[in-house]
């Protein structure tokens, strides 16, 4: 599985757009990029997944440049309830020994 | 559907005691996982199962045991609790692994070993 690097923490204000970038220089051809969100005292929750270009759902957008060595999770018009830890994961898991690895994630703090 | 459920929500153990953390899912998922999360840290995989009767070690299996007798249930056993096992434990499940599909997580069990 490709190693990922993302900022440890970010602050933003309500109503702003927040972009969290994840670096994954060793991403393999068949790897997907997946983001999870974890609220305090809860388990992680799947947000979005993509392979290339742009993916959008009701929660977020995911931008992936052509070289796929990084990706950006975009949260439009955040609110206080978006305060959470966001994890970037990269991999394909084609082999039984492959394991999903959650790093420390990015701790996003939304201010009023 | 209840999704993934875990019991208990919180437990205090004395050093050397044993306990079983329960996990159940009603989504007919083949894959199930146990993670632990220490304060301010990411999740670490303890054990996982690819189906009933099949389990495998994750990153941090020492001090734990699992079994998978049914598709729905995946209990985690702590035999001799140690302070280092103080953590929040999450159970998760997914339909398949090979397409990196969504993992569904339970609400967690907070364990304190004193």
Q: pLDDT of B72-110, one tens digit each?
A: 999 999 999 999 999 999 999 988 765 455 789 999 999
Chain mean pLDDT for chain B: 92
Q: Select the more confidently predicted residue: B50 or B12.
A: B12
B56–A96 CB contact, under 8 Å: yes
Residue A100 at interface with chain B, using a CB cutoff of 8 Å: yes
A46–B102 CB contact, under 8 Å: yes
CA angle, B111 then B56 then A25, to 5° = 90
Which residues in chain A have their CB less than 8 angstroms from residue B23's CB? none
Token readout for A5 is 């690097």
Order of strands, sheet of A9-13, starting from the edge strand that comes earlier in the sequence: A9-13, A106-111, A84-91, A32-38, A45-50
The contacts of residue A17 (CB under 8 Å, 6+ apart) are A74, A75, A76, A77, A78
In the prediction, which pLDDT does B102 show? 76
Residue A2: pLDDT band (50, 70, 90) is: low
Token readout for A64 is 């992936």
**What are A49-102's pLDDT values in tens digits?**
999 999 999 999 999 999 999 999 999 999 999 999 999 988 765 555 566 677
B31 closest CA partner among B61, B85, B72: B72
In the prediction, which pLDDT does A95 show? 54
Residue A61 at interface with chain B, using a CB cutoff of 8 Å: no
Chain B residue with minimum CA distance to A37: B105
CB atoms closer than 10 angstroms to residue B24: 19
The contacts of residue B26 (CB under 8 Å, 6+ apart) are B1, B2, B3, B72
A49–B50 CB contact, under 8 Å: no
């Amino acid at each position: 599985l490709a190693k990922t690097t993302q900022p440890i923490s970010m602050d933003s204000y309500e109503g702003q757009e927040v972009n969290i970038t994840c670096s994954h220089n060793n991403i393999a051809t068949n790897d997907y990029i997946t983001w999870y969100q974890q609220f305090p005292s809860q388990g992680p929750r799947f947000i979005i997944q993509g392979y290339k270009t742009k993916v959008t759902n009701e929660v977020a957008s995911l931008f992936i440049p052509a070289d796929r060595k990084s990706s950006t999770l975009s949260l439009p018009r955040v609110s206080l309830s978006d305060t959470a830890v966001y994890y970037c994961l990269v991999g394909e898991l084609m082999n039984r020994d492959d394991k999903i690895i959650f790093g420390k994630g990015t701790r996003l703090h939304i201010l009023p | 559907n209840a999704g993934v459920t875990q019991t208990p929500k919180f437990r205090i153990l004395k050093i050397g005691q044993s306990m079983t953390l329960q996990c159940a899912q009603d989504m007919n998922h083949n894959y199930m996982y146990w993670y632990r999360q220490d304060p301010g840290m990411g999740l670490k995989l303890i054990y996982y199962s690819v189906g009933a009767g099949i389990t495998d070690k994750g990153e941090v299996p020492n001090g734990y045991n699992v079994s998978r007798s049914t598709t729905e249930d995946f209990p985690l056993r702590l035999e001799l609790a140690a302070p280092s096992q103080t953590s929040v434990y999450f159970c998760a499940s997914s339909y398949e692994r090979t397409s990196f599909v969504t993992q569904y997580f339970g609400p967690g069990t907070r364990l304190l070993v004193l």
